[in-house]
Amino acid sequence: MPNNIPTEHENKLAEALRKRKVIFEVHHKDYYTSKDGQIRYKTVDIYIPKDQIFIEVDGMHHITKPESIISDFNRDYFSHKKGFFTKHITNEAIDSHLDEIADAIAYIVNSAPNKMGENLH
């Protein structure tokens, strides 16, 4: 069972987004129906409802372990089918680029078109 306590890096990003007045939920519960018809549940690290954005704050194993990569592909696929975009951000990126990441997300949420598939300029 996944831990429902936000990680240090999730908290860092959440605080940075809060300072930029982004409205979001931490540890949002979601579900999807897998290809075999099973209902699967997941916890999304940060969810921005206005723009249907899921943000996953990931440890290095999400980009180095084949099982994690496949799991993320599947979760992202089913989220996209439900109309959600997923952005994965590594802990290391948060450590070294927190303000830039939070600024970019805030810009997208506050300034970019609120439609799937539209250009962001």
pLDDT of residue 11: 97
User: Given a cut of 50, is residue 28 above it in pLDDT?
Assistant: yes
d(CA 117, CA 33): 23
d(CA 52, CA 117): 12
Share of the chain above pLDDT 70, in %: 89
pLDDT of residue 3: 65
Three-class secondary structure of residue 51 per DSSP:
helix
Smallest CA-to-CA distance from 86 within 4, 30, 14, 8 is with 30
The per-residue pLDDT for range 53-104, each reduced to its tens digit, is: 999 999 999 999 999 999 999 999 989 999 999 999 999 999 999 999 999 9
Half-sphere exposure of 23 (CA within 13 A, CB side): 5
User: Given a cut of 80, is residue 2 above it in pLDDT?
Assistant: no
pTM for the whole structure: 0.85
**In the chain, what are the domains?**
8-111 (3.40.960.10)
β-bridge mates for residue 47, sequence order:
25, 54
Question: pLDDT averaged over the chain?
Answer: 89
Judged by average pLDDT, the poorest of 1-10, 25-34, 104-113 is: 1-10
pLDDT of residue 121: 43
If pLDDT is split at 50, 70 and 90, which confidence band does 117 have? low
- 20-51 burial, b for 16+ CB within 10 Å, e for fewer? eebebebbbebebeeeeeeeeebebbbbbeeb
Question: What's the CA dihedral at 35, 38, 43, 48 to 10 degrees?
Answer: 50
